[in-house]
Amino acid sequence: GAGVSQSPRYKVTKRGQDVALRCDPISGHVSLYWYRQALGQGPEFLTYFNYEAQQDKSGLPNDRFSAERPEGSISTLTIQRTEQRDSAMYRCASSSPPGTASYEQYFGPGTRLTVT
């Protein structure tokens, strides 16, 4: 079956531009997570949603970062006024909520963002 998909897979943008990264979770999965992974580091939590509600955004580094999931399915992570330090792999994952049989987080292929 279809897994988590992310687009674009690669994004090169100039400093100061806005970017929008998309995540399409596994159909029926309630929870959706965003992580950021810098080179040589492990994934770092940014934010997550249950349905359309943003449950935790404590990992968003500053107010240039925002995320939404308006219909409880596809999510968009937006970075405004990009800076070179935003360059990283952005990973999305989805899972079913507590109380269901599976709570495993399934990851997408990631979006490699490069800010020049």
User: What residues line the site for another protein (CB under 8 A)?
Assistant: 3-4, 30-31, 33, 35, 40-45, 48, 50, 55-56, 59, 91, 93, 95-98, 100, 102-110
Least distance CB 29 / another protein (angstroms): 9
When the beta carbons of 16 and 97 are compared against another protein, the nearer one is 97
Least distance CB 97 / another protein (angstroms): 5
When the beta carbons of 47 and 82 are compared against another protein, the nearer one is 47
When the beta carbons of 14 and 40 are compared against another protein, the nearer one is 40
Least distance CB 86 / another protein (angstroms): 19
φ, ψ at 18 (rounded to 5°): -95, 145
CA distance 58 to 91: 16
CA distance 37 to 6: 15
Residue 17 has a CB neighbour count (10 Å cut-off) of 13
CA distance 94 to 50: 10
φ, ψ at 86 (rounded to 5°): -80, -10
When the beta carbons of 1 and 42 are compared against another protein, the nearer one is 42
Least distance CB 12 / another protein (angstroms): 20
The dihedral built from the CA positions of residue 41, 74, 6 and 28, taken in this order, carries a sign that is: positive
